[in-house]
Chain A
Amino acid sequence: MSSVADWEATPNPVKTNRAGLIGKPVDRYEGPLKVTGTAPYAYEVQPPSPPAYGVMIGAEIAVGRVTGADLAAARAAPGVLAVWTHENAPAQPPRGTKAHPRSSAGSRPALDGDRVTYWGQPVAFVVADTLENAVAAAHLVKLSYAPETPNVDFHGRLIDGVDPPGEKDVEVGDFEAGFKASPVQVDETWTTPIQNHCQMEPCASLAWWEGPDRCIAHTSVQMVKPAQHGLAETLGIDRDGVHLMTRYIGGGFGGKGQTYDDLTLAALAARELGRPVKVAFTRQQMMHGTIHRPATLQRVRLGAEKDGRLNAFSIMTWTHCHSDGAFTEHASNFARALYAAPNRLTGHRLVKLDLPHAGPMRAPGEASGTMSLEVAMDELAEKLGMDPVQLRIVNEPPVDPENGRPFSQRQLVRCLQEGAQLFGWDRRLPQPGQVRDGRWHVGLGMAAAIRGNFLLPAKCSFSVDAEGTITVRQGMTDIGTGTYTVLAQIAAETLGVPLGKVVVEIGDSELPPAPGSGGQFGAATAGSAALAAGVNLRRAVAELAVGDAGSPLHGGDPEAVTFQDGVIALENRSETLSDLIRRTRPEGLTVEGEIRPAQDAQRWSTQTYGAHFCEVGVDVVTGEVRVRRMLGVFAAGRILNAKTARSQLTGGMIWGVGAALTEGNAVDPRYGSLIAQDLAQYLVPAHADIGDLDAIMLDEVDDKANPMGIKGVGELGNSGASAAVANAIHNAVGVRVRDYPITPDKLLAALMARGL
């Protein structure tokens, strides 16, 4: 069992960074494949024989039963190979079954009953020889339903909210008393809508069988092992009977943290038909058929002294999940580690609705929660007549205010101060509505960012061959974040070889397991395991060299062997890595390494931090808002790759712009369905919406986080970004819209209410 003290005391090649590859803005390892359209995503993988094409059909009721199906026309249509409903789909173990008790996911049966619990739930499935024939036949399937009245009105059912399973409100001190006694108060309510992930690549799967107990599956998923185990449980075969691959993934954002019926149905149909089967969600099906970020209502109360110190704060979040679910958008949790206050109350209420499944979406919790609290802080600063940056500095806690633990690293104040300086925050006029640029009223806003940091158990293998090529193998995923690239950098730096001599193989259930991509734990977890494997390979190579009579390094101290430019050396004695391996291990040499959380990791509060600064223009005639400039300054430990990390951070910031201004999906309560079903209706920011945007990463090493001293950035950029936009709108025109997204109709109403 390792400890934080070991990590801090032990040098390693990433820390030493002898070749300088760590932190370098290295181009994406798989970039050329992606930009030339030659990276085989799951649906584009070439199977061993011509595939059949499956098309799913979603329920057109939100809740009720499928009472009948007229499949004759579809079955008679050209090229049709199979038409399934719950009545004739292959038998599968009940949902959640774990024949193997240590499976990381239970069975996920498809078409397993007549019960419909959300609009768009797959209820029928057509397979044909071509995609066109399958789509055409799917349109001929006629289903009948016994619909029930859907319970989908979140704001009308807040009263049904209960504590999430196993959770209670967290109160420190006496919030009500502290709030009442505070001379300056904010008490407001914010709402955020359902949001959809809108990954560029919809969920898609391809499967075929090599014998009755061996299923080969390519899919698009963030976590390999649960996908493999869940599919094996569904198919009723041994877990090792599923070989699951997810080599390239066109965006995940939490929405691909699980698999969906595309995978189940592809594998089942491939078994039934004896040929490969592809199944993909359509863009429209993605909106209902996969998870979404649920809507929230958040009440924030802040009570402060006149000097700005918080006496009391509370965020209470109401949110919703599927009728059979328990997922909770923890929009209140992040606040617990952010600001000091002696009296605090945070908690959640969960309402079960007949809507599709809620689930994690980028910066789950923080993304929604900062949209209230970080605006409330702006409102408090306004009431205090205090600069919003200064208000946050005044409330900077010396230790984690929730649990009293010391921070492993906390550079929030430096993020705030450096951001303010770089952005030109001193040019902000505290009184709103003072700056015009043509028809645009211009305003500046800021917000703080926070996101927890995590390290999970993972393994990795490193091989070296007779050419001196290093191959990294890990059951990790790259969802567009840069995993391939940072693993290559760690390998090259650790073994002292050029980047061109590193091969990275990930996204495969038969490789050493890693937990995958999510919660911004990916790079730290996978990378730390890779570093361990790399250090083990260094040691093995060094011992091979000093133990080999044919090596110039023979008889030396293996600990003193250096690795640089493909050469291993002991002072002035050296040979190339490839010469050594060719001579001593022509078949190559493979070692494994692993990482586990430190036994004492919980002694520290380990978080990532940032500060967002935003300049918007508001057209008071129309209520249109355009982001003109945005800067984020972040502190997230050592940065492995300045380019991919920056892309992660700016991407998160752009998500924040979308959440603030355009993104949201509304429920039509008559049907229980979502109104926006494509990217012409669900509006994510377009290029023209993003002006001058930059993310800066402060120098930091967090040796208590993991052996590399890195932390995650995938969620951090999204945390707080929307609030900076909302605060800038207020500075521009002096009104606040607390019902996101801040669209022209809502802002126009607020402007008119102010006589503008």
Chain B
Amino acid sequence: MKPFTYERAESPAAAAKAAALTKGARFIAGGTNLLDLMKLEIEQPTHLIDVGRLPMAAIAPTPEGGLTIGAAATNTAVAAHADVRARYPVLSQAILAGGSPQLRNKASVGGNLLQRTRCAYFYDASKPCNKRAPGSGCGALEGLNRNAAIFGASQACIATHTSDMAVALAALNARVETISPSGDTRSIPLTDLHRLPGDMPHVETVLVPGELITAVTLPPPPVGGQAYRKVRDRASYAGGLASVAVAGGDLALGMVALKPWRAAGAERALRAGASPAEAMAAELEGASPRGRNDFKIPLVARLATAAIHEANGRGA
């Protein structure tokens, strides 16, 4: 691990300002992802700004009938929150499908959104990875890429975003609230937060340097059922092979792209009266598997179909 300096921010605005002042500064909250990566020297921050103790952990109703969730709230706190469980069960289910209890107790909402890919070639510094070392190539492209993306990948990167929580937030039309070093605030649709890899997979979000996520805002719950389903090799503490969040008529897929993948094609087909299976077939026409991950096409089709039925109360 490289030496680094540390400060505890006094306010979100001060944190954002401090981040802009120091080249190589990173925010830290739970540290469940960042510290692991620092030990491997995949992350090499020169300065850590602790935002985990800022007063932005509250979960409160909004005047519009939605919910605002502070970025420093722990994953456990969100999943267990009565309003979340009652009105946004897909979010609670998604969070509980991720990590382990120990990780969820530490991990923050903001950190969960900004967690980095679990691609094995990203983690192995002896291998090429454009995300870790821009320009070095993609080890996964011709490698052991069973868990690679089927949507939105590029020749530069075929990794996936592995957050469960973000998939539910995408289906719920959540917005991400931020503050910039200049003190400006903005509200970004969650589905616009993460960038597809293109030729710059190391640039992962639309956030500008120093911009801090302060909260996630949910609109009022959608009309209709909600469900989250995740497929994984073992029953807990495993990244998914695929996941799906259903929130009313809205649908997002997980572990199929470098961002939570809003299945707009399937949504359109459903609204036009297609069956869930037909809708998923329409969505998956745009998929580009790479051989070892071909199975994700039928898997996603079957999983999402079952989840839509489940959300609609018709079981699997």
Interface residue? A749 (CB, 8 A): yes
Cα-based distance from A179 to B295 in the complex (angstroms)? 38
Question: Which residues of A are found within 8 Å of B123, using beta-carbon distances?
Answer: 677-678, 681
Are A136 and B1 in contact, CB atoms less than 8 angstroms apart?
A: yes
Interface residue? B264 (CB, 8 A): no
User: Which of A622, A681, A685, A687 gathers most chain B CB within 10 Å?
Assistant: A622
- Interface hit among A253-261, A264-272, A410-418, A661-669: A661-669
Cα-based distance from A744 to B238 in the complex (angstroms)? 13
Cα-based distance from A662 to B233 in the complex (angstroms)? 6
Interface residue? B41 (CB, 8 A): yes
Contact of B233 among A132, A661, A670 (CB under 8 A): A661
B-binding residues in A (CB < 8 A)? 60, 132, 135-136, 139, 284, 438-439, 621-624, 626, 661-662, 666, 668, 670-671, 673, 675-678, 680-681, 683, 685-689, 743-745, 748-749, 752
Q: Which residue from chain A places its CB closest to the CB of B39 in the assembled complex? A: A135
Cα-based distance from A743 to B295 in the complex (angstroms)? 11
User: Which of B235, B295, B298 gathers most chain A CB within 10 Å?
Assistant: B235
- Interface hit among B10-18, B87-95, B106-114, B139-147: B139-147
Contact of A686 among B2, B142, B234, B302 (CB under 8 A): B234
Question: Which residues of B are found within 8 Å of A687, using beta-carbon distances?
Answer: 236
Interface residue? B207 (CB, 8 A): no
Contact of A621 among B127, B146, B306 (CB under 8 A): B306
Are A748 and B234 in contact, CB atoms less than 8 angstroms apart?
A: no
Cα-based distance from A169 to B313 in the complex (angstroms)? 60
A-B contact count (CB 8 A): 94
- In the assembled complex, the CB of A661 is this many whole angstroms from the nearest CB of chain B, namely 7
Question: Which residues of B are found within 8 Å of A139, using beta-carbon distances?
Answer: 2, 41
Q: Which residue from chain B places its CB closest to the CB of A139 in the assembled complex? A: B41
Q: Which residue from chain B places its CB closest to the CB of A58 in the assembled complex? A: B126
Question: Which residues of A are found within 8 Å of B143, using beta-carbon distances?
Answer: 668, 670, 675
Contact of B236 among A135, A676, A680, A688 (CB under 8 A): A688
Are B126 and A683 in contact, CB atoms less than 8 angstroms apart?
A: no
Additional 8 contacts, C-beta under 8 A, given A662-B233, A675-B143: A132-B1, A136-B2, A136-B3, A622-B303, A673-B127, A686-B100, A687-B236, A744-B232
Using A680-B118, A744-B241 as known contacts, say yes or no to A626 and B302 having CB atoms under 8 A apart: no
Question: Which residues of chain B from 156 to 205 have any CB-CB distance to chain A below 8 Å in the complex?
Answer: none
Are A689 and B234 in contact, CB atoms less than 8 angstroms apart?
A: yes
Q: Which residue from chain A places its CB closest to the CB of B316 in the assembled complex? A: A439
Question: Which residues of A are found within 8 Å of B120, using beta-carbon distances?
Answer: 675-677, 681
Are B302 and A622 in contact, CB atoms less than 8 angstroms apart?
A: yes
Are A621 and B1 in contact, CB atoms less than 8 angstroms apart?
A: no
As a 0/1 sequence over residues 124 to 146 of chain B, the CB contacts with chain A under 8 angstroms (1 = contact) are 10110000000000010011101
Using A661-B234, A744-B231 as known contacts, say yes or no to A680 and B239 having CB atoms under 8 A apart: yes
Give me the 7 closest cross-chain CB pairs, A-B, nearest first. A688-B235, A688-B236, A745-B295, A439-B316, A60-B126, A622-B231, A675-B144
Interface residue? B299 (CB, 8 A): yes
Interface residue? B6 (CB, 8 A): no
Question: Which residues of chain B from 206 to 223 have any CB-CB distance to chain A below 8 Å in the complex?
Answer: none
User: Which of B1, B236, B298 gathers most chain A CB within 10 Å?
Assistant: B298
Are B235 and A626 in contact, CB atoms less than 8 angstroms apart?
A: yes
Using A135-B1, A139-B41, A670-B142 as known contacts, say yes or no to A745 and B299 having CB atoms under 8 A apart: yes
Question: Which residues of A are found within 8 Å of B235, using beta-carbon distances?
Answer: 626, 686, 688-689
Question: Which residues of B are found within 8 Å of A678, using beta-carbon distances?
Answer: 123
Cα-based distance from A624 to B100 in the complex (angstroms)? 19
- In the assembled complex, the CB of A236 is this many whole angstroms from the nearest CB of chain B, namely 34
Q: Which residue from chain B places its CB closest to the CB of A626 in the assembled complex? A: B235
Cα-based distance from A673 to B124 in the complex (angstroms)? 10
Question: Which residues of B are found within 8 Å of A675, using beta-carbon distances?
Answer: 120, 143-144
Cα-based distance from A60 to B125 in the complex (angstroms)? 10
